[in-house]
Amino acid sequence: MTQKPAVLIDPHFRRMEEIFSSADLRRLRELADVRWGRDEPMPLEQARRELTEAVAVVCSSWRYGDVLTHAGTPNLRAIIDVGGSFPVGLDYGRCFDRRIRVLTAAPAFGRQVAEMALAMALAATRDVAAGDRAMREGKERWLHAGNEGTFLLFGKRAGMIGYGSLARALRPLLGPFSCSLHVYDPWLAPGYLRSLGLEPLGLEALLETSDVIFVLSAPTIENRALLSRERLVRIRPSAVLVLMSRAYVVDFDALTEMVMAGRFKAAIDVFPREPLPLDHPIRRAPGAVLSAHRAGSVREGLWDIGRMVVDDLESIVLGLPPQQLQVAQPELVGRQVPGSAES
Amino acid sequence: MTQKPAVLIDPHFRRMEEIFSSADLRRLRELADVRWGRDEPMPLEQARRELTEAVAVVCSSWRYGDVLTHAGTPNLRAIIDVGGSFPVGLDYGRCFDRRIRVLTAAPAFGRQVAEMALAMALAATRDVAAGDRAMREGKERWLHAGNEGTFLLFGKRAGMIGYGSLARALRPLLGPFSCSLHVYDPWLAPGYLRSLGLEPLGLEALLETSDVIFVLSAPTIENRALLSRERLVRIRPSAVLVLMSRAYVVDFDALTEMVMAGRFKAAIDVFPREPLPLDHPIRRAPGAVLSAHRAGSVREGLWDIGRMVVDDLESIVLGLPPQQLQVAQPELVGRQVPGSAES
Amino acid sequence: MTQKPAVLIDPHFRRMEEIFSSADLRRLRELADVRWGRDEPMPLEQARRELTEAVAVVCSSWRYGDVLTHAGTPNLRAIIDVGGSFPVGLDYGRCFDRRIRVLTAAPAFGRQVAEMALAMALAATRDVAAGDRAMREGKERWLHAGNEGTFLLFGKRAGMIGYGSLARALRPLLGPFSCSLHVYDPWLAPGYLRSLGLEPLGLEALLETSDVIFVLSAPTIENRALLSRERLVRIRPSAVLVLMSRAYVVDFDALTEMVMAGRFKAAIDVFPREPLPLDHPIRRAPGAVLSAHRAGSVREGLWDIGRMVVDDLESIVLGLPPQQLQVAQPELVGRQVPGSAES
Amino acid sequence: MTQKPAVLIDPHFRRMEEIFSSADLRRLRELADVRWGRDEPMPLEQARRELTEAVAVVCSSWRYGDVLTHAGTPNLRAIIDVGGSFPVGLDYGRCFDRRIRVLTAAPAFGRQVAEMALAMALAATRDVAAGDRAMREGKERWLHAGNEGTFLLFGKRAGMIGYGSLARALRPLLGPFSCSLHVYDPWLAPGYLRSLGLEPLGLEALLETSDVIFVLSAPTIENRALLSRERLVRIRPSAVLVLMSRAYVVDFDALTEMVMAGRFKAAIDVFPREPLPLDHPIRRAPGAVLSAHRAGSVREGLWDIGRMVVDDLESIVLGLPPQQLQVAQPELVGRQVPGSAES
């Protein structure tokens, strides 16, 4: 009987049962000789010892220092981060030189964040949250009178800022609404976007013409406060901005002012400080739908992480390229801003 | 040049521009010699005179009395009700005898009600409305802690009570979520439902096994308070009931009690009395998402009525069967409970 | 225990096991008190006796004479023809007066005919049949050289003449090829076609602009030799005509001449005389793909008839409108040309 | 004005207008400073000079020798092969070390080969080619009699051997037929295949249970004559084998014998020797549908190559990872058997 390859499972800030369903845990143990596999962080010295044998490591950041020499990790084929972004402090160049795959489980959040993006978008376009609030305050307006300022998603122009794994998970949910889809993503060439049936658009044009704007881009060294005050003012009065990925990409003060002023509506799941200070004015904005960073942490949704990790470990153990998670690319890795998707 | 056929347009409780977009109004005038076509009700005597020439009448109820003799309405081919249900007080037997089509614009509400059904379902399953409320009260819980009791729609069991035009409009919106779809509809035979890829189910079994229950049935002489207390108790603790069609089909007192008690969640657009009394307890139920009968009265959505009416008038004027609106069927007409979809 | 309703099953020119799978036969016997149910025609006197009790009759033409009085057939709710078209010699007016549904199983041929239509279209556009012939004769041309005159279906203009049950079954098969779909059907109003995402077009324009033309219309009193010589000449040189429904709608001599002359290609399943005379010139046309009326008679495909018949009998027995088969409409019945889909 | 990056276009055995539509040629010239761009091969010394400046090279094999040092090709980011497979004679290790992307345009053949695969499969399952032949010989059988041995694709088990770009292009075409899809592909892990809605299966089981078997795998060092005599005998009598990728993966003598003997049917586009000898027995096999390697060389289809090449050059010029063509992966490159898809 052949020996199973060693895989170090050290998800630390995630818990084992949080990311692995029992079925996937069984698959994992069948596939690999699981080292560690506990909730608490593995003691560092022990981890470095295990890495001399491991074919792959599943972690929530890179905390093992400079072991990526051939002597330190002779068998290592893959580093899989389940925190939500690419790991910080890793020598990516050495990984590429040694053909070690660096993966992030970020795409595993796609389904649940996409569902929440649609839920929050519809809650704003159809005044579901505001209407519910009005009913509770006894101030509701019935029938047509209660639908001032609402609109249907059917056939509208949807703008996506960032077309990565969140956007790809969102797209099928928008399919039945026959929206025209416009994308601003400086990391994807226009011909490729067109081949997907999407219309590439400059950021200003997207803001000026979209009925619903989904902010889905991961943070990069280029997009801090990309949605500046100057750009936010371009948004149409009737539009809805849905902020799902990171507050980092928005001038949040400007956004707050404009939503407070009723310039447009916004559905917001991520904030510049979390928990958000209790006196933050956005908490009182009538045109906002607010969520406490809850899009990506539904219990059953987190099992998507484990499922995709085990799928890719299957590939890695077989000597094949991984297929499910996002692989670090030499062209992009220096431009991404690592850090947990949850912070 | 041939004369255009006369069509009486007397929508009374609807307004002309409410149901007809300007494009459809143009199509209508090109197609037919439009008689009346104003917001206020046509004087009765005048209407009865016009009916002696008209090929079709568009109305919001049948208020023209006993004119359906061959002498009274020799050219009449179609009676189209834009109120939301089949007209009351009409001699359907005579219509069938004379091959006069009786149509209701009810299916024209499908798109907008279906969108709202999904919006409200997601607002309940993902706690969008409750989460927004918590943020405003400064009582929100962040990340995982804020997702207790929430669940994803992906892959869940969705039960539909009634598979008419609302359900048919909802189905494609659920498509990307890969739910298994279970239907209780005593007016559709099981083989037909299966041919549509749906699983027919008894009402009790549907209530006991569904994660999300959509109540979409039009009122009939058989389904008053169909969802009785005895049946409502069968609903699973984690489930969400989405009441979209008519409060008529539910024991609303029992529903209120159970939602108040936290037995399950509910998203409710229709109520036994509208406006709902200010002291009705459902207004304070934490597990409810409430909407003031707003699902079917979005301005642009109502133009679906006019579009479908003109489409069917095209057919009728050409001597062809109508295709878009719902046609009264001899087997069912005596079992339906007419009355506006909005009351 | 309640008595099952009597249903007379007298498919005569069809055989029982030809149209009913064993599973559907079981469903049928569970549902109804099956009278007769044999391959040979029921003796007439006996049939007329059974009709005094039967709720429905399944036949392959109407051979029971004038029994449609209330006395002759007091319980009769439905007449279902499994031959392939609406029955000849039936008093449809009386059926409408008595609310008896007259149904044809024509839609049950949709799947298999649609599949064959696509198969034959692709065999022509990609020279599958001609290429195979060339290989057998040792005259093939390889690679690019062998693809002169071939084209891809992707993104092409497909024209449909007739948008009934065959076309509706074909449409999803064309879906992945992203063709633009143009329809000529004088029995469907343009607004309705547009609502289906189809572009209504005049016959001449359709012939002049389509890359692939599917002839799918059932015979009517208006469309004999609709595709006359004058119209066929409008077809583009590179185009493919796919004749699936009935040779009746084409000037077959003109078609033969043009295909012989290489004016365009044709895929033909139906002929003016069947069997086709051995010396008919179309048999030697290089640009033709020929099939001996085989589109609608695949063994397993015929079970679609039985499945849909039993589905509709379920509805009828429950007192509900049938949903699967095509129902005779008062507006159209006088304009259809009955007769077997297979003759 | 910034200078456009230099791109060497030297497709040699392809011609410029064969792969680039005029629209894509315009895009290309707008994007890059095109060097060479002619049908005949660029003189080698000149090519090596251009490579010292070029950001990318488009070629049909690697004929530039050992220039991949940093000095020889300081700007080079991508090598794009438009011949149909990964280039031979290239130092892939050095490419990976230098982060030079090596791409093959093989996926650009997907659409047209997939269409032909479906066309040939249906030609076999429905006897389109054989039926046409019979009509020409005056030996056809009409209606049911002519459908012995034919079957519908709807709901059948389709087996795919190899799930690369051809299979991915074929899959949507099979979608409307609701086949269950089974895959044998040793280069894709089972969990990943399941996540795509496919059922991974051992090769023997696939052969034994599939109604239609699509052979779509590119040649590797492991799959020569993978479909050996011992394996071919497992194919079910009623099944159809569709050989589209390379004769390399089949024991062609055994295949020929079995098809001659009527063991199963086969649709074959690729042969061990091309042109196929005139006396090869497969040319007379009644159960075969034969095509002279014509699946991938439809004129308009080849423009997919140019479109995807320019799309990826857009990415490369912008410093982004390519997205459209197939990228050489360190895990696999040593196991692939390069060589033109057309030889």
* A267 and A174 co-located in one domain: yes
Helix (H, G, I), strand (E, B) or coil at B30: helix
Residues B204 and B68 in one domain: no
Residues C285 and C309 in one domain: no
**In a shared domain, residues C284 and C146:** yes
Q: Buried (b) or exposed (e) across B209-243, using 16+ Cβ within 10 A?
A: bbbbbbbbbbbbeebeebbeeebbebbeeebbbbb
Q: Which structure tokens are listed for D106?
A: 């093989």
Same domain, D62 and D152: no
In this structure, is the dihedral angle defined by the CA atoms of residues A146, A149, A152 and A153, taken in order, positive or negative? negative
- How far apart (Å, rounded) are the C-alpha atoms in residues C38 and C34? 10
Residue with tokens 């998800």: A11
Q: Chain B closest CA to A68's CA: distance in Å?
A: 34
For residue D70, the model assigns a pLDDT of: 83
Give buried/exposed letters for A287-302 (b at 16+ CB in 10 A, else e). bbbbbbbbbbbbbebb
Q: Give me the tens of pLDDT residue by residue for chain A, a chain 343 residues long.
A: 579 999 999 999 899 999 999 999 999 999 999 999 999 999 999 999 999 999 999 999 999 999 998 889 999 999 999 999 999 889 999 999 999 999 999 999 999 999 999 999 999 999 999 999 999 999 999 999 999 999 999 999 999 999 999 999 999 999 999 999 999 999 999 999 999 999 999 999 999 999 999 999 999 999 999 999 999 999 999 899 999 999 999 999 999 999 999 999 999 999 999 999 999 999 999 999 999 999 999 999 999 999 999 999 999 999 999 999 999 999 999 998 865 444 3
Report pLDDT for A335: 93
Determine contact: C139 vs chain D, CB below 8 A. no
The answer to whether the CB atoms of A189 and D99 lie below 8 A apart is no
- Domain around B215: 110-290
pLDDT of residue B2: 73
pLDDT of B4 > 90? The answer is yes
A340 part of a folded domain: no
**B339: left (phi > 0), else alpha (psi -120 to 50), else beta?**
left
In three-state form (DSSP H/G/I as H, E/B as E, the rest C), the secondary structure along chain A is CCCCCEEEEECCCCCHHHHCCHHHHHHHHHHCEEEECCCCCCCHHHHHHHHCCCCEEEECCCCCCCCCCCCCCCCCCEEEECCCCCCCCCCHHHHHHCCCEEEECHHHHHHHHHHHHHHHHHHHHCCHHHHHHHHHHCCCCCHHHHHCCCCCCCCCEEEEECCCHHHHHHHHHHHHHCCEEEEECCCCCHHHHHHCCCEECCHHHHHHHCCEEEECCCCECCCCCCECHHHHCCCCCCCEEEECCCHHHECHHHHHHHHHCCCCEEEECCCCCCCCCCCCHHHHCCCEEECCCCCCCCHHHHHHHHHHHHHHHHHHHCCCCCCCCEECCCCCHHHECCCCCCC
Domain of B248: which CATH number?
3.40.50.720
Joined tokens for residue B143: 């990340």
Residue C1: predicted pLDDT: 54
Identify whether residues A115 and A260 lie together within a single domain.
yes
CA dist C285 and C262 (Å) reads: 8
Shortest Cα–Cα distance, B68 to chain A (Å) = 34
Q: Is the pLDDT of residue C214 over 90?
A: yes
Task: Quickly state the pLDDT bin for B71 (edges 50, 70, 90).
Answer: confident
The per-residue DSSP string of B181-245 comes to EEEE-TTS-HHHHHHTT-EE--HHHHHHH-SEEEE-PPPBTT-TT-B-HHHHTTS-TT-EEEE-S
Q: Is the peptide bond before B338 cis (omega within 30 degrees of 0)?
A: no
Domain shared by D96 and D142, yes or no: no
Q: Are residues C152 and C209 in the same domain?
A: yes
pLDDT at C70 over 50: yes
Task: Specify the pTM.
Answer: 0.97
Q: How many domains does chain B have?
A: 2
Share of chain C above pLDDT 90, in %: 94
Q: Is residue A341 part of a domain?
A: no
Q: Are D82 and D14 in contact (CB under 8 A)?
A: yes
Residue C343 lies in a domain: no
What gap in Å lies between CA C64 and CA A335, rounded to an integer? 82
Residue of A nearest to D307 (CA): A191
Q: pLDDT tens across B11-59, in order?
A: 998 999 999 999 999 999 999 999 999 999 999 999 999 999 999 999 9
Chain C residue numbers touching D284 (CB-CB < 8 A): 136
Mean pLDDT of chain B: 96
Please indicate, yes or no, if residue D85 is contained in any of the structural domains.
Answer: yes
- The count of other CB atoms within 10 Å of the CB of residue B142 is 17
- What one-letter code names the amino acid at B156? K
Question: pLDDT by residue (tens digit) across B111-137?
Answer: 999 999 999 999 999 999 999 999 999
pLDDT for res D337:
85
* D342 in a structural domain: no
Cα A200–Cα A203–Cα A206 angle in degrees, nearest 5: 70
- Does residue B164 have a pLDDT over 60? yes
The residues that bridge with A10 in the sheet, in sequence order, are: A59
Query: C248 and C263 share a domain?
Result: yes
- Number of CB pairs, chain C paired with chain D, less than 8 A apart: 182
Q: Do B272 and B330 reside in the same domain of the chain?
A: no
Nearest CA in chain B to C325: B192
One-character DSSP codes across D20-42: --HHHHHHHHHHSEEEE--SSPP
D141 touches chain C (CB under 8 A): yes
CB pairs under 8 A between B and C: 76
For residues C27-34, give the mean pLDDT. 98
Q: Determine the pLDDT at residue B1.
A: 54
- What pLDDT is stored for residue A192 in this prediction? 98
Cα Rg for chain B, rounded, in angstroms?
A: 22
Q: Give residue A70's pLDDT.
A: 83
The shortest C-alpha distance from A203 to chain D (Å) reads 17
With a threshold of 0.90, tell me whether the complex ipTM lies above it: yes
Which of A28, A99, A307, A320 to mutate to probe the D interface, most D CBs <10 Å?
A: A320
In total, chain C counts a number of residues equal to 343
Q: Which pLDDT band holds residue C337 (cuts at 50, 70, 90)?
A: confident
User: Assign residue B295 a region: left if phi > 0, alpha if psi is -120 to 50, beta otherwise?
Assistant: alpha
The verdict on D23 touching A (C-beta cutoff 8 Å) is no
Mean pLDDT of C166-175: 98
Q: C279 vs chain B: nearest CA distance in angstroms?
A: 43
Same domain as C321, residue C283: no
Quick one: D46 and D131 in the same domain?
no
Cβ–Cβ below 8 Å for B176 and A177: no
- Between CA A181 and CA A173 the distance in angstroms is 12
Q: Alpha helices of chain B — where are they, by DSSP H?
A: 16-19, 22-31, 44-51, 92-97, 110-125, 128-137, 165-174, 190-195, 203-209, 229-232, 252-260, 299-317
- Residue reference for tokens 């029971």: C64
C342 in a structural domain? no
Report helix, strand or coil for C78. strand
Residues 6 or more apart in contact with residue B308 via CB below 8 angstroms: B105, B107, B108, B324, B325, C195
**Residue A342 resides in a domain:** no
> Mean pLDDT of successive 10-residue segments in chain D (343 residues)?
90 95 98 97 96 97 92 96 93 97 98 98 98 98 97 98 98 98 98 98 98 97 97 97 98 98 98 98 98 97 98 98 98 81 39
B241 contacts A109 by C-beta, under 8 angstroms? no
Instruction: Specify burial of residue A285 (Cβ count, 10 A radius: 0-12, 13-18, 19+).
Output: buried
Of C192, C307, C312, the CB nearest to B323: C192
From chain D, pick out residues whose CB is under 8 angstroms from the CB of C125. 119
CB atoms within 10 A of CB A261: 10
Chain B CB contacts of A146 under 8 Å are: 291-294, 297
Q: Burial level of B202, CB count in 10 A (0-12/13-18/19+)?
A: exposed
Is residue D340 a part of any domain in this protein? no
pLDDT in tens, C40-53: 999 999 999 999 99
CA B330, CA C97: separation in Å to the nearest integer? 11
Q: How many CA atoms lie within 13 A of C116 on its CB side?
A: 36
Q: What angle do CA A44, A49, A54 make, to 5 degrees?
A: 110
What residues 264-283 of chain D have any CB closer than 8 A to a CB of chain C?
A: 274-276, 278, 283
Q: What is the pLDDT of residues D55-89, one digit of tens each?
A: 999 999 999 999 998 889 999 999 999 999 999 88
* Radius of gyration, alpha carbons of chain C: 22
Q: Confirm or reject contact between B122 and chain A (CB < 8 A).
A: yes
- Interchain CB contact of A310 with D (< 8 Å): yes
What whole-number percentage of chain B has pLDDT above 90? 94
Q: Is B131 on the interface with A (CB under 8 A)?
A: yes
CB atoms B290 and A132 under 8 Å? yes
**Which residue type sits at A204?**
E
